[in-house]
Amino acid sequence: MNIKPVLSDEVCRALARLGRTEDIKFSPDGRRLAIAGFNYNKILILEVDFDFTDTHKNLVISDFAEISSLSLKNPHGLAFLDDKTLIVANRKGGASVLRLPPRGAVEKIVELPDLGVIPSNLWLYSPGSVSAICLKNGLYDVLICNNYAHYVSRHILDITESLTVKRNEILLSKDLDIPDGVSFSNDGRWIAVSNHGKHCVFLYENTPELTQDSEPSGILHGVSFPHGVRFAKGRFILVADAGAPFVHIYEKNGNCWEGRYEPVSSFRVMSDEIFKRGRKNAQEGGPKGIDVNEDMNTLVTTSDYQPLAFFDLQEALKRRRSESGQTSVPPRRLQACPCGSGKRYKHCCGEADTLSKPNASRSFRSIMQSALAAQRANELEGAERLYLEALELRGDDPDALHMLGVVLYCRHRAREASGLIRRAGMATQWQFPGILFNYGLALGSRMLGRDTARGAKLRQQYDRWLATRPYRSGYEPLVSVVIPSYNHASYIERSLESIYAQTYRNLELIIIDDASSDGSPDIIREKLRGCHLPHRFVARDTNLGAHATLNEAIALAQGEFINPLNSDDLFEPGRIAEMVEKVARSEFEWGFSKCICIDPHNQVVTPQKNNRSYILSQIEETLSSSDTIGSALLGALNPTISTGNLFFSKSLYKKLGGFRDYQSNHDWDFCLRALWYAEPRLVSSNLYRYRLHENNTIQKSLERNREEYGRLFADYHDKAITSLPDNEFAPAKATVGSAYLAKVLAAGQISLPQKILIDLDDELTRQEEDSILKSDIGVGEGLNLVGYFRGEAGLAESVRTMAATCYAKDIKINIQDAGVIMEGRQSNRSMDRFLTSDNDQQTTLFYMNPDQLESVWRRYFERGDLRGRRIISYWHWEIDKFPKKWQPALELVDEIWVASEFVEQLVKRVTDKPVVRIPHAIDVKISRPYSRTEFALTDDRFLFLFNFDFYSFADRKNPWATIEAFRRAFPISEDRVGLVIKCHNGERHIEKFNLLQELAEQDSRITILDRLLSREEMYGLQSVCDAYVSLHRSEGFGLGMAECMALGKPVIGTGYSGNLEFMDSENSCLVNYTLIPVKPGQFIYYEPGWMWADPDVDHAAKYMVRLFEDPDYRQRMSTRAAADMAARHNHQIVGKIIKDRLDHLNKR
């Protein structure tokens, strides 16, 4: 069947230069072949001459053109539109349309301009295969597989003059998993799509009724990893199997491609040697691209190590096996392979069959392997079922018990999980650290949210304690600055200069060099010649380590207070003065300040530019979220950052017995022991400069650091569980109960001994059983309101607003913090005084989305707190389809509340449970007038504002469109306008933040404010700007727009999604849009076929110009906006809606 072509030497060299190939296509006249060179961004055009007779078949390729173009970015799929025009799907770009040079052109290596490009930023994502069919002269229907977005898009192209895209749409997506090949039938009636991830090919009838939710009419089975696909001769389909060395042939049954099909034949298209060379994994090695020249009965394939191979199509079709016109079943593994190799199927093409077959008598080992595979694929329900099946065979197997426990933990069933993991630990005598660690995770999850009201009361006591501290006016103790110096010759001089520059004068300086080998002692001696402070310097010959050096230096010190300084770091000039003021004079025993990071050249390092600086920046988040400053010491990061940031009394130092022998963590160990005796003071100024460089001690041995971390925390918790600390605020069982362990265990920050965990497990079980016995059916007609009351994100602000609405309307509520570990700060304490453990209302409202609902719901359920309760959950969502991952949460609730009609309609499509629209109240209160100078903004410009949180997904918020609209609206010479982009958490999304900064840096009128503001400060910023712009792709509600309208600011916003709940053409500037696909990675989840808006930037720019130039229009919009928000979204109106709904429910 193989046809060996005659190739010129030049053609052979061109093929060798092509590298990895992905697709191959004949031109409509059959005289040209195009091959996609993936890695080298080339298309090879071959000129083909056929000399076929009844007696011989000669195929000659004597000429070629090697095509390159700037638009070629990993070309993956090809299709000829006509004999001179090629469309190329680029894996890392869009779809290029190229006009090819004529046959016989002199130039063999050609750089082509694009006729046009279908851009990747809107409709295409990882485009692969492409197929096209002519609708009429110059008008083409083009299908493109978007492999890793799991959909096929349709594009109607007009190339009569230049490329014009007439229409774009997502054509197919349902149940597609990496569509890797696509083909129209010759008459255009059918479409075949290779469903690579599901090992089959879907067949669709190409009718006007075809949509992305359409089911396939037929399915081709019997292929391992389908790639290229091609209709042939009116009744056949050929499929290239990338996971095997052959092409499969399928034959139509009757007049249509409906039902299930198996191959009628499979024939080998490469040798074992070539197949094995390309078989880097189970999905590769076989043919990829495939095409046929029906006039010449020729099949052509391409693959990585066989870029060009021809076969006699007529011979291949003759070899198909048929019986009475029906397709045959796949061969048995001992039969001869249908490819004609002469081998048995199991030793030939059957080796490539990677699909697992069910086995009624599977072994324990095979079940465990399947369970682990399901678990790794996050198919937790299937993994649970398989682990249970394994335990039916071996009921006490510790691996099965442990892994089932882990799966149940991931499914939020922490109580069951801890019981299983405990059994596994006892069966193995706790020899495996992983079992102990996961046991702690499960127990920590059970503890979350138990004592949030107690924690809130502790914080209130703590705040009162801080407010009533004594103050020793005029107290100026001697402060000893001690430096343990070791091999920091490049930095020690600057460190000493930072001490000389201190504004506090009652200082002494002690330096001990720990046997440096880089000349540090000589530098120190020279620098001390100009020292105006009392000082001592000791240079040792033997290196004893940092802790010993510190202890020796402090023993020489005469000061009442000690401040170490690392020999590579710096003090700010006012450090000692402020530490004396805030720590010593307020009678604290010890404290530390906030820090900034610097590089080896003394430049400030921002979290956006350095990963370690980003990690250290999380400390401030930890400090602000902790109930006390001391409790922050139990987190994953040391909030003091460095020994040099400590300021402590010598009396405390003596009580602790100095620094202990921890090479990397002697400072953290010192702090944990100090915490036991005295609460630290945090000085909120940045008074210490911590230098980042490659020789930082903590970087040299991460393994040692982890080991030390475990030891020092075990020491603390052993004591905290059994003893009473001197410090009334020190986290310990005697002061705050066992709940102090919840966050550190649930976050996996510590691993405690098994005895402590077992005792904790037993205690939790007793508490849960007692809680169930004591639980009562709620009788109140109000709400048990559960949410993120301490959070800083939008959901947290919204639940606080709902609480305020209920209070304003005298609706009885019990406020309970969800106690969920979340990214972002948990530092808003405005509702702490209202937090309670009371649960006496008959309706419980979980103000959280389904991704967090199940874990919190289960905690309440296992404590008996949902007994006899009506369960409501308040959900926000921004895509027009309800996510499949959320659908199980529908079973946990009796009713869903939403903020907008947009969300109401999409939820109603997936449930028959009540979905009730409860709007947000918008209550913008500003306690004082704000000025632009408070935000470093100029007073002489008309300022547009947009704000967003990177955690809310920058692609959805779409700030770059706002920047683009601003720049189109106002030429660079117009300096009476400005744009403010307020964002935060940019350090968590570095690439997108850098893109935002790059765009802003191109225009000096654009200001980026990347920091967290309080709600009051945010309202202040909104109040000093002139207009608000949100060119979002989708919103569940749109809080920023609503707040600015309530403030009487004109608002420009995309005319799509939840913001239409309060915006219309009379009170705001609604921007036109088109719907485009959501792409993988752009949002919290991804499902093929999701759509959102692409706002019309030019339309938005026109609104910006009008608001700037037309004060009457601006005033009219502002006045109407404020009036509408006041009338429809105040606490009384929304409160009445809530009260009416509760009254209706309570009467049922």
User: Tell me, what's the pLDDT at 725?
Assistant: 95
488 has a pLDDT exceeding 60: yes
Phi, psi angles (nearest 5°) of residue 1133: -65, -50
User: Tell me, what's the pLDDT at 701?
Assistant: 61
What span, in angstroms and rounded, lies between the C-alpha atoms of 293 and 268?
19
Going along the chain from its start, the domains and CATH numbers come out as 2-328+336-352 (2.120.10.30), 378-446+737-774 (1.25.40.10), 474-704 (3.90.550.10), 775-917 (3.40.50.11930), 932-1128 (3.40.50.2000)
Among 287-296, 671-680, 804-813, the range scoring the smallest mean pLDDT is 287-296
352 has a pLDDT exceeding 70: no
What span, in angstroms and rounded, lies between the C-alpha atoms of 740 and 729?
11
Quick check: 784 and 845 in contact, CB under 8 A? yes
DSSP-derived pairing of the beta strands 1051-1054 and 1069-1071: parallel
Burial of 618-633, coded b for 16+ CB within 10 Å and e otherwise, reads: bbbbbbbbbbbbbbbb
- Token pair 């004060």 is found at 1111
* Residues 587-638: tens digit of each pLDDT: 999 999 999 999 999 998 877 666 666 677 678 777 877 888 998 898 778 8
Among 222-231, 356-365, 411-420, the range scoring the smallest mean pLDDT is 356-365
829 has a pLDDT exceeding 50: yes
329 has a pLDDT exceeding 90: no
What span, in angstroms and rounded, lies between the C-alpha atoms of 441 and 761?
12
**CA distances (Å), origin 482, targets 341, 579, 594:** 82, 15, 20
- Please return the burial class of 68, using the count of CB atoms within 10 Å of its CB with bins 0-12, 13-18 and 19+: middle
- Please return the burial class of 400, using the count of CB atoms within 10 Å of its CB with bins 0-12, 13-18 and 19+: buried
The kind and range of the H/E element at 267 are strand 265-268
What span, in angstroms and rounded, lies between the C-alpha atoms of 995 and 856?
37
1092 has a pLDDT exceeding 70: yes
What span, in angstroms and rounded, lies between the C-alpha atoms of 143 and 1006?
41
What span, in angstroms and rounded, lies between the C-alpha atoms of 542 and 441?
44
* Amino acid letter for position 413: R
982 has a pLDDT exceeding 80: yes
Q: Is the dihedral of CA 740, 743, 749, 755 positive or negative?
A: positive
- Token pair 């913001």 is found at 1059
Phi, psi angles (nearest 5°) of residue 562: -120, 135
User: Tell me, what's the pLDDT at 360?
Assistant: 43
Q: In what order do the strands lie in the sheet with 85-90?
A: 75-82, 85-90, 95-99, 114-118
pLDDT band with cut points at 50, 70 and 90 for residue 775: confident
* Amino acid letter for position 727: N
Nearest to 1044 by CA among 1058, 1066, 1059, 1065: 1059
Q: Report CA 967 to chain centroid distance, whole Å.
A: 30
346 has a pLDDT exceeding 70: no
The kind and range of the H/E element at 386 are helix 380-393
What span, in angstroms and rounded, lies between the C-alpha atoms of 443 and 536?
52
Mean pLDDT of 141-154: 95
pLDDT band with cut points at 50, 70 and 90 for residue 351: very low
* Residues 171-218: tens digit of each pLDDT: 999 999 999 999 999 999 999 999 998 999 999 999 999 999 999 999
* Amino acid letter for position 95: A
Nearest to 835 by CA among 808, 871, 799: 799
Quick check: 899 and 847 in contact, CB under 8 A? no
pLDDT band with cut points at 50, 70 and 90 for residue 135: very high
**Structure tokens, 347:** 């030793």
**Structure tokens, 944:** 């547009």
- Please return the burial class of 1100, using the count of CB atoms within 10 Å of its CB with bins 0-12, 13-18 and 19+: buried
307 has a pLDDT exceeding 90: yes
Among 558-567, 627-636, 666-675, 1079-1088, the range scoring the smallest mean pLDDT is 627-636
pLDDT band with cut points at 50, 70 and 90 for residue 833: confident
Among 646-650, 1008-1012, 1093-1097, the range scoring the smallest mean pLDDT is 1008-1012
How does DSSP assign 55-74, residue by residue? S-EEEEEEEEEEEE-TT-SS
The alpha helices in 775-895, defined as continuous H runs, are 794-808, 850-862
Strand, coil or helix: 147? helix
User: Tell me, what's the pLDDT at 344?
Assistant: 57
Quick check: 329 and 340 in contact, CB under 8 A? no
What span, in angstroms and rounded, lies between the C-alpha atoms of 1060 and 775?
43
Strand, coil or helix: 222? coil
Among 337-346, 939-948, 1066-1075, the range scoring the smallest mean pLDDT is 337-346
User: Tell me, what's the pLDDT at 824?
Assistant: 66
**Structure tokens, 498:** 């930072």
Mean pLDDT of 34-61: 90
* Residues 266-284: tens digit of each pLDDT: 989 999 999 999 988 888 8
Quick check: 156 and 189 in contact, CB under 8 A? no
Strand, coil or helix: 357? coil
The overall average pLDDT reported for the chain is: 90
DSSP-derived pairing of the beta strands 915-917 and 895-898: parallel
pLDDT band with cut points at 50, 70 and 90 for residue 330: very low
Quick check: 220 and 239 in contact, CB under 8 A? yes
What span, in angstroms and rounded, lies between the C-alpha atoms of 892 and 872?
9
Strand, coil or helix: 959? helix
How does DSSP assign 595-621, residue by residue? EEEE-TTS-B--TTT-HHHHHHHHHHH
Mean pLDDT of 74-92: 95
Quick check: 201 and 195 in contact, CB under 8 A? yes
Q: Is the dihedral of CA 61, 62, 63, 64 positive or negative?
A: positive
User: Tell me, what's the pLDDT at 326?
Assistant: 37
User: Tell me, what's the pLDDT at 698?
Assistant: 52
User: Tell me, what's the pLDDT at 767?
Assistant: 85
**CA distances (Å), origin 501, targets 477, 599, 692:** 18, 20, 22
**Structure tokens, 322:** 């048929």
Neighbours of 39 (CB within 10 A): 13
What span, in angstroms and rounded, lies between the C-alpha atoms of 617 and 599?
15
758 has a pLDDT exceeding 60: yes
User: Tell me, what's the pLDDT at 86?
Assistant: 95
Beta carbons within 8 Å of 766's beta carbon, 6+ residues apart? none
pLDDT band with cut points at 50, 70 and 90 for residue 323: very low
* Amino acid letter for position 329: V
Higher pLDDT, 753 or 128: 128
**Structure tokens, 716:** 């603390």
Mean pLDDT of 721-735: 91
What span, in angstroms and rounded, lies between the C-alpha atoms of 730 and 676?
6
Q: Report CA 582 to chain centroid distance, whole Å.
A: 40
Among 1-15, 705-719, 877-891, the range scoring the smallest mean pLDDT is 705-719
User: Tell me, what's the pLDDT at 357?
Assistant: 36
Mean pLDDT of 882-901: 95
Phi, psi angles (nearest 5°) of residue 296: -100, 5
Rg of the chain on CA atoms, in Å: 35
**CA distances (Å), origin 294, targets 19, 396, 1006:** 28, 64, 60
**3-state SS track over 522-558:** HHHHHHHCCCCCCEEEEECCCCCCHHHHHHHHHHHCC
